[in-house]
Structure 1
Amino acid sequence: MSVRMMLFSFVDPEREQEFEAAFSKVRERVATMPGHIRDELLRLEGVSGSYVLISEWEKREQFTEWLESPAHDSMTAEMRPYFVRPSEMRFYSLRVPSSRG
């Protein structure tokens, strides 16, 4: 089953729209990587600037290989200026797939 990386992040609340636009561009580039399935961006309701980035991959090793590659830095550079403090990365393995695809 697939693995999901969840990145708990905080961005400048006054620049949320710019960050979301940058995420959309980054997501298109990441979609070309082997093993990548999909990405989502969630914003915590009632807490400006609080986001969870979810990236689903066939295998954790595929994500890790991309994360440690020079391609990662160039592909995600557009988003980095918006983060106001370090993010926390967690991995979850899919146990029961969605019945709605």
Structure 2
Amino acid sequence: MTVRMMLFSTVDAEREQEFEAAFSKVRERVATMPGHVRDELLRLEGTAGSYVLISEWEKREQFIEWLESPAHDSMTAEMRPFFLRPSEMRFYSLRVPFPRG
């Protein structure tokens, strides 16, 4: 089963559109990494600047390998200026998959 990394973040509410555009660019780069499945960006309704970034990977080890690589810093550099404080990272493993079709 896959693992999902969830990053709970706060960004400058006045720059949400810029942040979302930066996420889209970063997402395209990360999609090239071995083990990467998909990414999503969620915004908390009613709370400007509050986001959850979800990154799904085949294995937690693949995500950690990418996170600790020099490629991580260069791939995600565009997003970092928007964060107002350190983000909280959590890992969730998929237990019951959504039935397909």
Distance 2:100 2:80 in 1: 33
Corresponding residue of 1:44 = 44
Deviations 1:77-99 (A, max 9, x none): 00000000110000000001112
Corresponding residue of 1:84 = 84
Moved over 2 A (4+): none
Percent same amino acid at aligned positions?
89
CA-atom RMSD, angstroms? 0.9
Distance 1:26 1:100 in 2: 28
Corresponding residue of 1:19 = 19
Corresponding residue of 1:31 = 31
Q: How many residues align?
A: 101
SS at match of 1:78: coil
Structure 1: gaps (5+ residues):
none
Structure 2: gaps (5+ residues):
none
Distance 1:97 1:40 in 2: 17
Corresponding residue of 2:96 = 96
**Partner AA of 1:99 in structure 2:** P
SS at match of 1:97: coil
TM-score (norm 1): 0.98
Distance 1:51 1:91 in 2: 16
**Partner AA of 2:25 in structure 1:** K
The alpha-carbon deviation at position 100 of structure 1 amounts to 3.9
SS at match of 1:47: coil
Distance 2:25 2:3 in 1: 22
SS at match of 1:90: strand
TM-score (norm 2): 0.98
